[in-house]
Amino acid sequence: MESIINIEKNELIPINILYSDILSKYNLDIYNVENIKFKDTEKQRAVYKVDTNNGTKCLKKVYYSIGNLLFIYSVIEWLNVKGICAPRFISAKNGFKYIEYKKMLFILTDWVEGRKFEYDNIDDILLAAENLAKIHKYSKGFYPIEGSTINIQAADYVKRYNRYFLQLLESSNSAFRYKDKFSKTFLENFDYNIERAKESFLILSNVQFDKRFGDDVSKNSICHLDYVNKNLIITPENKICVIDFDRCAIDYPVHDISSFLKRLLKRKSTNWDFEMCKAFIESYEKVRPLSYYEHLCLLSFLMFPQKYWKISRDYYKNINNCNKEAFITILKKTVEQDEKHMKFCINFKDYIYKKFGT
């Protein structure tokens, strides 16, 4: 009969169980285990720092299936063979790359020592750009091991952005109907944002998503899809190591690039700085040149008023149960960037024109 074990509030399972039922499955002597993170959400996950006789390790409870895990394992192995730093899964005593405990899956990797990537450090940005280009370029020929569930995220972006555009129109109808404080601010800034959304969609609808779109990996690359500062570690040797491939998929590289740039450019200190964006693109292109149509996709993705669209969509969707003042604050901070965003879009269009003469 199993004994009853008390579990702390911010704990997945007791540390002694980690020792006896999970970490004991590895050929390691365990000295200490530290609970680093636990998120008890729909996608429940936890991270532990483990001191061993063979260095510090990272034990992670993941939320996906074995098939997804094998796909991620395949991606990491492939990238390491190509010279890209990403912590590899450590084999258990039975040779498996994971431990299954009470329908939960755990993986163990080396703990990466270093500092977190800094958005205000131009050297970090250039390093991240080259590294991302290598991930995309070296995707050619990749295929996951047997048993993997291949995660393909490549979407019909024209349909997706048309849906976003229509949702903005729906939000405007809701704003006229409710006429509250949020709606007033939303409508005061609607003209600019709907024009940017319209132009973004028109640019995207003119992109030829066929064999002329780009190179061999422009539509089917390994993409990290969470390539942000918390997942980029700068080692003492000034090399970049990428962690947390939970969301990786086969997708368009421009999706990966635009996601990184959105995170970079929406910050207060780098507020839609086109020169910063240009530096990133030029560093990326030292490794993998982007086609004309890929440039247009980037312009379209970055032109679309994503935050304005998302905050209004979420507000009217949850209007009876949300913190209205919090939504108003976020919306006001978002629209404060409109002028700089407009200048950014103009500069990006000029850049493409000068580069491709179209």
Tell me: the pLDDT tens digits for 76-109?
999 999 999 999 999 999 999 999 999 899 999 9
Residue 38 has pLDDT above 90, yes or no: no
Cα(347)–Cα(339) distance, rounded to whole angstroms?
Answer: 13
Q: Write down the pLDDT at residue 61.
A: 95
- For residue 78, the enclosing domain spans 15-111
Residue 8 has pLDDT above 80, yes or no: no
Q: Which two tokens stand for residue 225?
A: 């899809």
Domain assignment present for 8: no
Domain assignment present for 240: yes
Residue 1 has pLDDT above 80, yes or no: no
Q: Write down the pLDDT at residue 4.
A: 32
Beta strands in the chain (DSSP E): 30-39, 45-52, 55-62, 99-101, 104-110, 115-116, 221-223, 232-234, 240-242, 249-251
pTM, to two decimals: 0.92
Q: What one-character-per-residue DSSP string does 203-259 give? A: HHHT---STTSSSTTSSSEEE-S--SGGGEEE-TTS-EEE---TT-EEE-HHHHHHH
User: Is 129 found in the same domain as 82?
Assistant: no
Domain boundary among 59, 76, 111: 111
Q: Which two tokens stand for residue 306?
A: 């994503």
User: Is 136 found in the same domain as 103?
Assistant: no
**Mean per-residue pLDDT of the chain:** 93
Cα(127)–Cα(209) distance, rounded to whole angstroms?
Answer: 29
Residue 123 has pLDDT above 50, yes or no: yes
Q: What one-character-per-residue DSSP string does 67-94 give? A: HHHHHHHHHHHHHHHTT-B-PPPPP-TT
Q: Write down the pLDDT at residue 43.
A: 81
Q: Who contacts 304 (Cβ-Cβ below 8 Å, separation ≥6)?
A: 161, 164, 196, 197, 200, 201
Q: Which two tokens stand for residue 71?
A: 């796909």
Domain assignment present for 7: no
User: Is 298 found in the same domain as 331?
Assistant: yes
The domain tally of the chain equals 2
Return the CATH number at 240.
Answer: 3.90.1200.10
**Residue 1, SS3 per DSSP:** coil
Share of the chain above pLDDT 90, in %: 89
**Residue 58, SS3 per DSSP:** strand
User: Is 167 found in the same domain as 89?
Assistant: no
Q: What is the arithmetic mean of pLDDT over 343-352?
A: 97
Residue 259 has pLDDT above 70, yes or no: yes
Domain boundary among 111, 130, 156: 111
Tell me: the pLDDT tens digits for 266-280?
998 999 999 999 999
Q: Write down the pLDDT at residue 10.
A: 63
Domain assignment present for 230: yes
For residues 88 and 242, the answer to whether their CB atoms sit within 8 Å is no
Position 16 confidence tier, pLDDT thresholds 50, 70, 90 = confident
User: Is 135 found in the same domain as 94?
Assistant: no
- Residue 155 dihedral angles phi and psi, to the nearest 5°: -110, 170
Q: Write down the pLDDT at residue 6.
A: 39
Cα(168)–Cα(172) distance, rounded to whole angstroms?
Answer: 6
User: Is 155 found in the same domain as 223?
Assistant: yes
User: Is 127 found in the same domain as 104?
Assistant: no
Return the CATH number at 79.
Answer: 3.30.200.20
Q: What is the arithmetic mean of pLDDT over 221-235?
A: 96
Cα(200)–Cα(156) distance, rounded to whole angstroms?
Answer: 15
More confident residue, 322 or 41: 322
Tell me: the pLDDT tens digits for 139-175?
999 999 999 999 998 778 999 999 999 999 999 999 9
User: Is 97 found in the same domain as 139?
Assistant: no
Share of the chain above pLDDT 70, in %: 97
Residue 14 has pLDDT above 60, yes or no: yes
Q: Tokens 């991240």 map to which residue?
A: 128
User: Is 165 found in the same domain as 84?
Assistant: no
Position 7 confidence tier, pLDDT thresholds 50, 70, 90 = very low
Domain assignment present for 285: yes
Q: Residue 221 pairs with which residues in a beta bridge?
A: 251
Q: Count H helices and E strands in the chain, helices first.
A: 12, 10
User: Is 85 found in the same domain as 217?
Assistant: no
Cα(130)–Cα(247) distance, rounded to whole angstroms?
Answer: 20
User: Is 105 found in the same domain as 153?
Assistant: no
Q: Write down the pLDDT at residue 296.
A: 97
Domain assignment present for 152: yes
User: Is 128 found in the same domain as 33?
Assistant: no
Domain assignment present for 5: no
Position 9 confidence tier, pLDDT thresholds 50, 70, 90 = low
Domain boundary among 64, 84, 111: 111
Domain assignment present for 97: yes
**Residue 60, SS3 per DSSP:** strand
